[in-house]
Structure 1
Amino acid sequence: MDEQEFKQIRRFIVKLGKMLHKYGTPAHRLEAHLLEVASYLNVNASFISTPTSLTFVIWSDKREDEYNHAARVQPGELDLGSLSRTDELVTRLLSAELNLSEADEELSRIDNLPAFYHPLFEFFAMGISTGSFAIVMGSSFDDAIAAGAIGCIMYLIYFWSLHSKRVNLMLEPAAALVAGVCACAISALVEPAINIRLVVLSSIIIFIPGLALTIGLAELSSRNLVSGTARVMDALMQLFKLYFGAFLGIAIGFWWFSEVAMVPTEPTPKWAIWVAVLTLCSALVVIFKLRIKHAPWAIMCGFVGYFGTYWASKYLEFGLGTFVGAFAVGVFANLFTRFAHAPASIVLMQGLIVLVPGSKTYIGLNSFVSGQDFMHADHIGQETFVIFMSLVAGLIFANVVMPTRKAL
């Protein structure tokens, strides 16, 4: 291998690693994928991925060439559409449909693609997802409408944060604070029947780091200790910031508008949950930037996760139903890779979101700090712990029963 060829190979691997990290790929999947690519390109390599850094060590067979690269990166955000395009590109490279130069150019093109969905679609998707989540949590139509309206405001704050570093630094507490004030205003001025704390939880559910916590625990279980620990601690800090913002926002809202006694209303009928899961999963297609051809699979995965858990919970101890749901989601995602030849992560994320682990953690934190339960949940702390363990165990068992054909 001459020096110029080695230089081209290591440049491509570094670019690919940074792009996969940017799209929110978990450490164990990213490292395994890069090792597969390095092996095909006839170089030896070692990679270390954490939420805020990437380290590449690449060397040729006889070590006549060796390259080290370390980069400080920002935690990636889920962009499953770009992730699937990148995976397709690598598949074409590994099957010799593209040479390395063509693959490198295609990577740059994918990285510079405009947003797949217009911000207006994302605005409505945010409102639909937050309103649907309230119904999935067993709330009323009044709560769902209030959560949907506040969810649209949350998107405006998020959109603002994309163009302002100062807003981005305080995004989580600021969004939760605004949500708390808005919920109190709706309760005092429009509809006293809403459950304020549940409305706030639903309206900020996209910011709740339940998915990050689950990924962090999965990384720890795969012995990616540095990345897993960093991701779990980052998720916990996000959760604390969200809870403090909501706590402060509700306190300000009660001070401005005075606290209104909640008038309990009937929860939504069971058929509404089916509709809510469908609308929630459909909205997540836009929020996660999925490609249209993968949307039906992702929506089905949401149904598999939710109703697998719902069915199993009738027969198993609390929290253990989540194991069945996570197992079903993992098997479905690995089957998806065989039929669609795309990364399992594309549909896996959808299923994990619907299993709502982060919301249980938020509810438990509220009970611990304020001593108040805004919805009936016995043994919430123990249940939250069991849920996270069940999620990780379910995914591990699924990978044993139905191994994935792709590293991503």
Structure 2
Amino acid sequence: MHTAEFIQKRRFIVRLGKMLHKYGTPSFRLEAYLLEVASYLGVRASIIATPTSLTFVIWSDGHEDEYTHAARLQPGELDLNSLSHVDGLASELLAGDVSLTEADRLLSEIDAMPSPYGKWITGCSFALSTGAFAMLMGASWPEIGWSGLLGLLSYVWYLWALRSKRVNMMLEPMTSFMAGIAASAIGRYIDPGINIPLIVLSSVIVLVPGLALTMGLSELASRNMVSGTARVMDALMQLFKLYFGAFLGVTVGFSLFGENIYVPAESLPEWGTWLAVFLLSLSLVAIFRTRPKHIPWGVAAAFIAYGASVWSADFMGAGMNTFVGAFALGVFANLFTRIARQPHTIVGMHGLIVLVPGSKTYIGLNSFISGQDFVAAEHVGQEVFLIFMSLIAGLIFANVVAPTKKAL
């Protein structure tokens, strides 16, 4: 292999790795995928990925050329649109449909692509997701409306954080703090008796790191210890910051406007939960930047995961039904990978979001600190632990029963 050819190949591998990391790819999947690409390109590689760094060691068969590259990176955010395009480009390269030079140019174009959904649609998706989550938690219609409205407030802070490093550093506590004050004012002057803690949790649910906790545990289960530990600890710190901001905001709000006395209202009928699953999965399309052609797959994944979980709850204990939901989701996502030849993550994340117990982790933290439950929850700590374990086990079993041919 000529040195110039080696340089071109290792440059592409490094760029590909950084872009996939930027789009929120789990570390164990990223490492496996990059090793596959390196093998197809005829070079050897050793890659270490963590949520905040990437290290590449690439060499030719005879060690005539060797290259080491280490980069400090920010934790990536899910961008399923760009992830799909990058995976498709890599597949075309490995199939010989595009050259390395052309692939390198196309990577730059993909990296510069904006979201297929504008800011207005994404903002509406924030409101829709927060309202849909409140529906899943059994809130009343007024509480669902207030949750959606405060979800828009969370989106404003999210946009501000994209432009300001200082705001980005305090995004979680400041967003939940403002939501707590706003909910307290609503409960005092507009709609007395509402469930303020539930509204605050719903309004910041997009920032609750339940998915990150699940990904971290998945990495630990795959024996990716450094990355898994880092991701779990980062998710816990985000959760603590969210809860502290909410606790402080509600405390300040009660001091300013007076304490709200919660009056339970009539919850939605059973069909409301299925409507909530549909609205939540639909709202995630813009938040995760899912490609339009993958929308039906994503919505179906959410219904399959939730439906299997609800169906199995009739004959399995609490938490174990999540194993069935995760198993069904894993099989469906792997079948999607075989049929569409796209990454497992594209539909897997849509289904996981209705199963991950991030909200219950928040509720358990609230119960531990305040001694009060703002929703009906018994033994929430044990249930959260069991759900997390069931999620990981379900996905592992699914990979054994219906293995995927793609690392992503």
C-alpha contact 1:305 1:355 (8 A) present in aligned 2: yes
Q: Which residue of 2 aligns with 1:310?
A: 310
Q: Which residue of 1 aligns with 2:405?
A: 405
Q: Which residue of 1 aligns with 2:144?
A: 144
Between the aligned partners of 2:230 and 2:253, the Cα distance in structure 1 is: 34
Per-residue deviation at 1:260? 2.1
Counterpart residue identity of residue 236, structure 2? L
For residues 293-345 of structure 1, what are the alpha-carbon distances to aligned partners after superposition, in whole Å with 9 as ceiling and x for unaligned?
00110011111111211111221111111111111111111011112111010
Q: Which residue of 1 aligns with 2:330?
A: 330
Between the aligned partners of 1:201 and 1:166, the Cα distance in structure 2 is: 23
Between the aligned partners of 1:6 and 1:275, the Cα distance in structure 2 is: 53
Identity of aligned residues (%): 61
C-alpha contact 1:142 1:193 (8 A) present in aligned 2: no
Per-residue deviation at 1:356? 3.6
Q: Which residue of 2 aligns with 1:9?
A: 9
Q: CA-atom RMSD, angstroms?
A: 0.8
C-alpha contact 2:26 2:219 (8 A) present in aligned 1: yes
Counterpart residue identity of residue 218, structure 1? S
Between the aligned partners of 1:215 and 1:386, the Cα distance in structure 2 is: 16
Q: Which residue of 2 aligns with 1:48?
A: 48
* SS of the residue 2:375 aligns to: coil
Per-residue deviation at 1:268? 0.5
* SS of the residue 1:293 aligns to: helix
Task: Report the TM-score when normalising by structure 2.
Answer: 0.99
Between the aligned partners of 2:393 and 2:32, the Cα distance in structure 1 is: 20
Per-residue deviation at 1:114? 2.1
Counterpart residue identity of residue 169, structure 1? M
* SS of the residue 1:206 aligns to: helix
C-alpha contact 1:9 1:41 (8 A) present in aligned 2: yes
* SS of the residue 1:69 aligns to: strand
For residues 90-116 of structure 1, what are the alpha-carbon distances to aligned partners after superposition, in whole Å with 9 as ceiling and x for unaligned?
111111111111111111110011222
Per-residue deviation at 1:357? 1.2
Aligned length: 408
Q: Which residue of 2 aligns with 1:197?
A: 197
C-alpha contact 1:194 1:263 (8 A) present in aligned 2: yes
C-alpha contact 1:328 1:398 (8 A) present in aligned 2: yes
Q: Which residue of 2 aligns with 1:238?
A: 238
* SS of the residue 1:89 aligns to: helix
Q: Which residue of 2 aligns with 1:114?
A: 114
Between the aligned partners of 1:156 and 1:305, the Cα distance in structure 2 is: 31
Counterpart residue identity of residue 159, structure 1? L
Is 1:256–2:259 an aligned residue pair? no
Between the aligned partners of 1:309 and 1:193, the Cα distance in structure 2 is: 32
For residues 275-303 of structure 1, what are the alpha-carbon distances to aligned partners after superposition, in whole Å with 9 as ceiling and x for unaligned?
11111100100000001000110011111
Q: Which residue of 2 aligns with 1:290?
A: 290
C-alpha contact 1:147 1:200 (8 A) present in aligned 2: yes
Between the aligned partners of 1:145 and 1:31, the Cα distance in structure 2 is: 43
Task: Report the TM-score when normalising by structure 1.
Answer: 0.99
Q: Which residue of 2 aligns with 1:104?
A: 104
Q: Which residue of 1 aligns with 2:127?
A: 127
Between the aligned partners of 2:394 and 2:193, the Cα distance in structure 1 is: 38
Alignment gaps of 5+ in structure 2: none
User: Structure 1 residues 146 and 356 mapped into 2: Cα distance closer, same or farther (>3 Å)?
Assistant: farther
Per-residue deviation at 1:193? 3.3
Counterpart residue identity of residue 369, structure 1? I
Between the aligned partners of 1:52 and 1:261, the Cα distance in structure 2 is: 44
Between the aligned partners of 1:165 and 1:227, the Cα distance in structure 2 is: 24
Q: Which residue of 1 aligns with 2:85?
A: 85
Between the aligned partners of 2:124 and 2:38, the Cα distance in structure 1 is: 42
